[in-house]
């Protein structure tokens, strides 16, 4: 049986929590109704981050990069001037052999030509003898004419025949002919020895000891070793940077030649531009120029490993052109729409600038006007660049 005291305890247990909850709810309502109201703010848009480099004007050497082919500077087909059998050849008379100017390369059998010289000597002796006899008869004929005719007028033809003038002319002509034939015979004898006309490498040979050759038969093909040439193809626009000599002895642009199988074996030589060829390439419409390289086979190299240039070899060249003063060298990737750049101003804004380009290279561009020392060139990309937009500089190179 529930007593009155127990009944009040039960009521307090139920009512007290409810009262506390009601008081808390009322307090919360009052606080929310009278407390400060939070204002909504639009979130700030982050500034685009850009990388820049500081601009500094410099003097730049224009370098024209191109490809070229090694060709001989002097080349000829060595031919026989007389017929005969080859009896001796030079020890270096073989493919790849190196010979010096004036060295005997091929010798033909000279016996027949020596006999011809002796025969012509005999003709000359006989012709001189006949001329002397005729000159003696000239004196006799003149005395006889004076005795017979005296100072009487005579037919010029009769006088000429009586004085044997045609006989004298014939004797003199016979002597001149014999002497000319002797000179030709001696010349033919000398041509049985074939000499190198210049310092050369033997590209190919056509005869051996024992070969029978006739007049104008090819003996060998030679190429001069003192100098090779590089035939280089360059774009027409690059020709203005290259110094082409206008006459013999004038210096042209310096050329660096790179060749080899790979980067570890890369060799370098130097040369000079010597000539502009008078026609464009059939394919590509490129300008062709010639550069000269001295001692291409390293024949005169005193010590160390030799690195010869070979005829027909493809090489990479760098031609040093004019020097440009007060220009800015910028990365090609920093050029926008062919002739514009982006500048990060001191006010933190982007400025789109038009520039004058004087030279476009593979990796860099040379700018003459439109930039100033100390300005910050933006080298990173922006998705939607707008003149005057705010930017944040990440790196100041």
Full DSSP string of 315-330: EEEEEEEEEEEEEEEE
pLDDT computed for residue 210 by the predictor: 93
d(CA 79, CA 206): 10
d(CA 145, CA 154): 11
d(CA 333, CA 349): 20
pLDDT computed for residue 233 by the predictor: 92
Residue 304 pLDDT level (bands cut at 50, 70, 90) = low
d(CA 297, CA 292): 13
pLDDT computed for residue 166 by the predictor: 74
- Per the listing, tokens 């000829």 go with 76
pLDDT digits (tens, 9 = 90+) for 160-180: 555 567 777 888 898 999 999
Residue 245: burial class (beta carbons within 10 Å; 0-12, 13-18, 19+): middle
Average pLDDT over all residues of the chain: 85
The answer to whether the CB of 236 falls within 8 A of the CB of 298 is no
pLDDT computed for residue 153 by the predictor: 65
pLDDT at 2 over 90: no
The answer to whether the CB of 221 falls within 8 A of the CB of 201 is no
- Per the listing, tokens 């003709």 go with 123
pLDDT computed for residue 109 by the predictor: 96
User: What single-letter DSSP state applies at residue 109?
Assistant: -
Residue 229 pLDDT level (bands cut at 50, 70, 90) = very high
* Residue among 86, 69, 349 nearest 207 (CA): 86
* Residue among 134, 144, 130 nearest 168 (CA): 134
The answer to whether the CB of 205 falls within 8 A of the CB of 86 is no
End-to-end CA distance of the chain, in Å? 95
């Amino acid at each position: 049986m529930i007593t009155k005291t127990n009944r009040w305890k039960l009521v307090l247990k139920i009512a007290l929590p409810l009262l506390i909850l009601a008081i808390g709810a009322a307090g919360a309502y009052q606080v929310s109704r009278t407390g400060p109201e939070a204002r909504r703010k639009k979130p700030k848009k982050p500034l685009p981050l850009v990388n820049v480099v500081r601009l500094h004007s410099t003097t730049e050497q224009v370098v024209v990069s191109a490809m070229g082919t090694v060709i001989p500077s002097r080349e000829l087909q060595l031919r026989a001037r007389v017929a005969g059998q080859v009896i001796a050849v030079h020890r270096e008379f073989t493919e790849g052999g190196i010979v010096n100017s004036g060295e005997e390369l091929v010798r033909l059998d000279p016996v027949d030509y020596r006999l011809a010289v002796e025969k012509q000597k005999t003709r000359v002796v006989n012709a001189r003898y006949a001329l002397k006899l005729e000159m003696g008869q000239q004196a006799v004929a003149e005395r006889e004419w004076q005795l017979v005719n005296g100072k009487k007028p005579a037919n010029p033809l009769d006088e000429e025949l009586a004085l044997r003038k045609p006989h004298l002319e014939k004797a003199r002509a016979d002597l001149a002919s014999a002497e000319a034939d002797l000179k030709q015979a001696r010349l033919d004898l000398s041509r049985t020895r074939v000499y190198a006309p210049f310092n050369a490498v033997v590209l190919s040979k056509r005869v051996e000891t024992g070969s029978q050759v006739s007049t104008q038969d090819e003996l060998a093909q030679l190429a001069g070793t003192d100098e090779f040439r590089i035939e280089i193809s360059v774009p027409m626009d690059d020709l203005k940077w290259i110094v082409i000599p206008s006459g013999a002895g004038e210096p042209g642009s310096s050329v660096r030649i790179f060749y080899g199988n790979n980067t570890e074996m890369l060799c370098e030589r130097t040369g000079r531009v010597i000539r502009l060829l008078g026609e464009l390439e059939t394919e590509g419409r490129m300008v062709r120029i010639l550069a000269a390289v001295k001692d291409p086979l390293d024949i005169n190299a005193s010590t160390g490993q030799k690195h010869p240039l070979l005829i027909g070899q493809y090489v990479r060249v760098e031609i040093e052109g004019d020097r440009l003063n007060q220009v800015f060298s910028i990365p090609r990737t920093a050029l926008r729409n062919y002739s514009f750049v982006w500048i990060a101003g001191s006010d933190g804004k982007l400025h789109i600038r038009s520039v004058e380009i004087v030279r476009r290279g593979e990796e860099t561009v040379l700018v003459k006007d439109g930039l100033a020392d100390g300005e910050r060139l933006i080298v990173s990309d922006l998705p939607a660049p707008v003149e005057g937009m705010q930017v944040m500089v990440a790196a100041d190179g």
